């Protein structure tokens, strides 16, 4: 089954079985391995990508759903690892094992797109869907708060 | 920037055949047609460089390579171990590139105690403290060799040649050279003997203690960091396995032909503990996995119902592991006896990257190549060699980033499985993926345990005799941390009763300390309260013989302004732990008495860090360990019903989310220039005890059974 969509700004067409998910298509057909598999059931947020600018969980999204739509993965977020949230995570040295961080980056980027001045409670509520087993939450939160504060000042 | 695809011919052979000056082509995979791109630094460029011992390469363009021997699983030792060498060498850190060392335990491994075999296991918060002296000495040797080579060139005495980062200087003649220039003409065949060298005065440190950015961070914010699950090889097949739901049961596949008939399925592999399938796509593999009909044999664990069994544990028949003094006599002389029992459930590592590995078995069946995230790559290599009937030297290892380890990835079961699958398809690489459900159902868990405590108390309310009986599976893991020598208790006895339910158990971040410190500290807390003593003062009075421990306890109280009296619905609790480094945790909690939900608002942790190479990184490690500890204490439990794991995924095995973490976690180190302590796990063990202590302050009731789920909290409240 062919699915046509825009991936990181480029029109593409992918041939995949009907049961294919966006996640495994990105990872194993398109070799964009920045988006990670972790729970497979929309419970951990690690596989978060943007669909038409909104965060979605690619592990549970049938590939056919993205037909004609726009998908952005971590590979397409910035060219030089310099999106504000990437720089903020680097400054806070936030990642530990790093496996959840594509999800953390994409989830945080979507928050800042929608609401550049979230309250602390809004940040926590938005980021709550992405798990981190290493316990890097304090640095993740601080990095986002720093961006918000810098934007306000 | 670990060069993930560096193929690993024995480094000693490599050195022997190249004689010092080498022209190295990075990323030369053994695997034919390997197209994996390499770290930015290498590309396809040929590098001219000089080998300096086994740890360092000086590149003629000014860059230098330092090898890291440890697996990088989030703890940051990929940066901090090479940093120690760079410090003594006076390297210019901005020019340092870190590469994963070859898997060669004789060259890069260490024995964990004198006389023990060398190996490359990254575990037990050992990397920094075990490599510190070696890295310093190696760095000092290289620095001296660079000075000596420069002195020869300039025809001056070596004592007149000094270094500054990346350069040698001769001040009298106002000459200087970069290390790279020295590398071009220098002779590094024999490095100066360590005995002749003076190590730096710590006051001169430029890197150690200064918080240098981690080398792995940039790759981890843009998705380019490579984990084994990311490896892409031409013609690669995808492997999945159905494993026995009850550990140890033997499988019999009853619809093999139907599975083989599924489009894309290439082979079915019958393993001792499960049935594997290889397919050309993830979807075909998952479909085949889902459609297998397997009859399972019986096994020891079939009869294990963990909750019921735990409730029935008794100390009868436990055996003494050690005794100090005479506990029986001391109990007889005691003014009163206090007893309690505590429990903890099995818990699951839950690392975010499910287990996986990639193995390529060559067409001629004479060699193999492995891509894996492993805490024990040398054991993984051996496991693959055994499964494929190869010499270890013919198994090339590529160690990639680990998406969490926490002890699970020092078992090599998943790598051995992948080798067994690959054996069925020589010439084709195989990527074995455990689904999250596999990872949980076939976990290797922190053991459940019941501890029986008995304490003899004198007329002043002091503990004179102490007996702990640890009952449950887990062997030595379950008695690690059953240790209270930092308290001045004259008569102490530890007993152990090992039970085998057929369940796979495994080290888990902080190992036995994670459960035993909760058990011990919560019992001490109860004794203190029963004697109407402040739990802090009570512990302090028992630490008169250990100034180091006392200082940590006092620091925690100072930084938290610990107050044993609850206020405005919140209360503070305290607990002490000795997971290599001493730590003291203070938790401030509140409780919703209707729902039973405990909320940890603030947490403080004082730690005798000793020499801390990367202080801010160490603080982040401790915060992470505290968060994991709170998660374990409040939420996590694996249950077995008829030998099968009840939980399946993060949906019914919840781990702490951002909204549940404390509003603040403060960490404070007590530094020293002499001793080193492991800091990766040490924040974890005090968490359960500190929360239980706060709960006791708030409610007057004791949480003796971990985790403190809302249901259990309500039971305790209503008891």
pLDDT at B660 over 90: yes
Contact B427, B362 (CB under 8 A): yes
Per-residue pLDDT at B426 exceeds 60: yes
| pLDDT recorded at residue B115 | 86
Confidence of residue B674 (pLDDT cuts 50, 70, 90): confident
| Per-residue pLDDT band at B1 (split at 50, 70, 90) | very low
Q: What is the pLDDT of residues B41-66, one digit of tens each?
A: 333 344 568 889 999 999 999 999 99
Q: State the best of A98, A136, A138, A143 to mutate against chain B, taking most chain B CBs within 10 Å.
A: A98
d(CA B574, CA B525): 8
- The more confidently predicted of residues A30 and B111 is A30
A97 vs B73, B626, B650: nearest CB: B73
Half-sphere exposure of residue A19: CA atoms within 13 angstroms, side-chain side: 7
Question: How crowded is residue B205: how many other Cβ atoms within 10 Å of its Cβ?
Answer: 16
The alpha carbon dihedral of B377, B381, B382, B386 has a sign of positive
Angstrom distance (rounded) from CA B364 to CA B394: 12
Q: Rounded mean pLDDT of A61-90?
A: 98
Query: What is the Cα gyration radius of chain A?
Result: 15
For residues A15 and A1, is the Cβ–Cβ distance under 8 A?
yes
Q: Nearest chain A Cα to B624, which residue?
A: A135
Q: pLDDT at position B10, please?
A: 34
Dump the DSSP string for B588-604. Answer: EEEEETTTTEEEEEEEE
Pick A96's closest partner by Cβ from B232, B620, B626.
Answer: B620
Contacting residues of A for B224, CB less than 8 Å apart: 34
pLDDT of residue B390 exceeding 70: yes
Segment holding B24, helix H or strand E: strand B21-24
Write the pLDDT tens digit of every residue in B226-274: 999 999 999 999 999 999 988 889 999 999 999 999 999 999 999 999 9
pLDDT computed for residue B452 by the predictor:
98
Q: What is the pLDDT of residue B31?
A: 58
Closest Cβ opposite residue A93 in set B214, B281, B658: B214
Listed range (A84-98, B28-42, B166-180, B409-423) with the worst mean pLDDT: B28-42
Above 80 in pLDDT, residue B508? yes
Identify the pLDDT of residue B32: 53
Model pLDDT, residue B639? 98
Indicate which of A7, A105, A134 best probes the interface with B, i.e. most B CBs within 10 Å of its own CB.
Answer: A134
**Cβ contacts of B231 within 8 Å, gap of 6 or more:** B36, B358, B371, B400, B431
* pLDDT attached to residue B673: 84
Do B337 and B457 form a contact (C-beta atoms < 8 A)?
yes
Q: Residue B33 pLDDT more than 70?
A: no
The mean pLDDT value of chain B amounts to 93
Residue A116 CA: distances (Å) to CA of A105, A141, A145, B157, B609: 15, 15, 11, 63, 39
Q: Determine what percent of chain B is predicted with pLDDT higher than 90.
A: 91
Edge-to-edge, what's the strand order for the sheet holding B356-361? B265-270, B274-279, B237-243, B429-433, B356-361, B368-372, B395-399
* DSSP assignment of A37-87: -S-SSSSS-TTEEEETTEEEEGGGSBGGGGTTSEEE-HHHH-SSS-SHHHH
Task: Give residues 14 to 53 of A whose Cβ lies within 8 Å of B.
Answer: 16-17, 19-20, 24, 27-28, 31, 33-41, 43-44, 46
The count of residues in chain A is: 153
Per-residue model confidence as pLDDT tens digits over B559-612: 999 999 999 999 999 999 999 999 999 999 999 999 999 999 999 999 999 999
- Which residue in A59, A28, A33, A25 sits closest to A131, CA to CA? A59
Decide which of B167 and B44 is more confident.
Answer: B167
pLDDT band at B688 (very low <50, low <70, confident <90, very high): very high
pLDDT tier, A153 (very low <50, low <70, confident <90, very high otherwise):
confident
> Across chain B, how many H-helices and E-strands are there?
19, 29
For residue B627, give the H/E element and its range: helix B615-634
pLDDT of residue B28: 39
Q: Give the predicted TM-score (pTM) of the model.
A: 0.95
| pLDDT of amino acid B4 | 36
Report the complex ipTM. Answer: 0.98
Kindly give, in sequence order, each residue whose CB lies less than 8 Å from that of residue A53, ignoring residues fewer than 6 positions away. Answer: A70, A72, A110, A113
Q: Å from A47 to nearest chain B CA?
A: 11
Least confident interval from A81-95, B43-57, B515-529, B642-656:
B43-57
Q: Is the pLDDT of residue B25 over 80?
A: no
């Amino acid at each position: 089954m062919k699915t046509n969509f825009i991936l990181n700004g480029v029109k593409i067409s992918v041939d995949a079985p009907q049961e294919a998910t966006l996640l495994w298509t990105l990872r194993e057909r398109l070799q964009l391995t920045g988006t990670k598999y972790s729970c497979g059931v929309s419970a951990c947020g690690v596989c978060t990508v943007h669909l038409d600018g909104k965060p979605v969980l690619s592990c549970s999204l049938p590939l056919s759903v993205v037909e004609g739509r726009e998908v952005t993965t971590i590979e397409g977020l910035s060219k030089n690892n310099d999106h504000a949230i990437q720089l903020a995570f680097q400054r806070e040295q936030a990642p530990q094992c790093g496996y959840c961080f594509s999800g953390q980056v994409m989830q945080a980027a979507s928050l800042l797109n929608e609401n550049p001045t979230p309250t602390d409670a809004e940040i926590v509520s938005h980021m709550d869907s992405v798990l981190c087993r290493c316990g890097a939450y304090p640095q993740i939160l601080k990095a986002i708060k720093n961006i918000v504060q810098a934007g306000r000042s | 920037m670990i060069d993930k695809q560096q193929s690993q011919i024995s480094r000693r052979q490599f050195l022997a055949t190249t004689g010092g000056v080498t022209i190295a082509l990075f990323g030369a995979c053994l695997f034919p047609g390997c197209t994996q791109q390499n770290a930015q630094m290498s590309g396809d460029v040929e590098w001219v460089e000089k080998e300096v011992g086994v740890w360092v390469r000086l590149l003629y363009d000014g860059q230098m390579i330092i090898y890291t021997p440890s697996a990088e699983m989030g703890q940051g030792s990929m940066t901090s171990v090479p940093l120690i060498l760079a410090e003594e060498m006076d390297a210019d850190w901005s020019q340092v590139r870190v590469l994963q060392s070859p898997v060669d335990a004789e060259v890069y491994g260490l024995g964990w105690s004198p006389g023990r075999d060398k190996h490359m296991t990254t575990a037990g918060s050992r990397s920094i403290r075990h490599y510190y002296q070696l890295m310093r000495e190696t760095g000092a040797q290289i620095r001296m060799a660079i000075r000596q080579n420069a002195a020869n060139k300039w025809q001056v005495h070596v004592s007149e040649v000094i270094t500054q980062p990346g350069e040698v200087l001769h001040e009298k003649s106002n000459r200087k050279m970069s290390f790279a220039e020295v590398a071009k003409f220098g002779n590094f065949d024999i490095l100066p003997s360590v005995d002749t060298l003076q190590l730096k005065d710590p006051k001169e440190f430029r890197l150690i203690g200064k918080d240098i950015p981690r080398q792995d961070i940039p790759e981890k914010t843009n998705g380019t960091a490579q984990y084994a699950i990311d490896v892409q090889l031409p013609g690669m097949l995808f492997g999945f396995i159905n494993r026995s739901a009850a550990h140890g049961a033997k499988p019999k596949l009853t619809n093999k032909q139907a599975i083989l008939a599924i489009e894309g399925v290439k082979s079915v592999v019958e393993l001792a503990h499960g049935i594997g399938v290889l397919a050309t796509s993830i979807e075909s593999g998952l479909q085949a996995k889902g459609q297998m009909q397997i009859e399972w044999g019986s096994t020891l664990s079939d009869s294990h119902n963990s909750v019921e069994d735990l409730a029935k544990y008794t100390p009868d028949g436990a055996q003494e592991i050690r005794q100090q003094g005479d506990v029986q006599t001391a109990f007889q002389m005691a003014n009163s006896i206090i007893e309690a029992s505590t429990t903890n459930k099995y818990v699951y590592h839950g690392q975010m990257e499910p287990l996986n590995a990639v193995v390529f078995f060559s067409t001629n069946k004479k060699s193999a190549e492995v891509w894996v995230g492993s805490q024990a790559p040398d054991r993984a290599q051996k496991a693959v060699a055994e499964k494929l009937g190869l010499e270890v030297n013919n198994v090339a290892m590529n160690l990639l980033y680990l998406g969490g380890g926490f002890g699970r990835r020092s078992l090599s079961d998943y790598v051995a499985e992948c080798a067994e699958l690959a054996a069925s398809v020589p010439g084709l690489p195989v990527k074995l993926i455990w689904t999250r459900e596999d990872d949980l159902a076939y976990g290797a868990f922190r053991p459940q345990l019941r501890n029986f405590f008995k304490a003899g108390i004198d007329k002043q309310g002091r503990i004179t005799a102490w007996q702990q009986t640890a009952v449950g599976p887990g062997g030595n893991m379950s008695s690690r941390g059953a240790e209270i020598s930092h308290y001045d208790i004259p008569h102490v006895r530890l007993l152990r009763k090992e039970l085998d339910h057929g369940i796979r158990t495994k080290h888990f971040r902080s190992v036995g300390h994670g459960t035993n410190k909760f058990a011990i500290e919560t019992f001490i807390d109860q004794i203190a309260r029963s004697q109407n003593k402040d739990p802090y003062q009570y512990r302090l009075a028992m630490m008169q013989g250990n100034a180091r421990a006392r200082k940590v306890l006092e620091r925690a109280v100072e930084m938290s302004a610990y107050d044993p009296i609850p206020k405005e619905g919140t209360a503070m609790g305290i607990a002490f732990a000795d997971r290599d480094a001493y730590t003291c945790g203070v938790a401030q909690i509140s409780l919703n008495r209707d729902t039973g939900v405990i909320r940890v608002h603030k947490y403080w942790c004082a730690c005798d860090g000793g020499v801390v190479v990367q202080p801010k990184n160490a603080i982040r490690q401790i915060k992470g360990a505290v968060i994991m500890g709170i998660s374990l204490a409040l939420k996590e439990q694996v249950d077995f019903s008829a030998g099968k794991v009840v939980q399946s995924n993060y949906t019914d095995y919840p781990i702490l989310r951002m909204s549940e973490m404390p509003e603040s976690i403060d960490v404070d180190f007590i530094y020293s220039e002499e001793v080193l302590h492991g800091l990766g796990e040490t924040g974890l063990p005090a968490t359960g005890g500190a929360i239980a202590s706060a709960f006791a302050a708030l409610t007057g009731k004791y949480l003796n059974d971990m985790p403190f789920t809302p249901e259990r909290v309500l039971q305790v409240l209503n008891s």
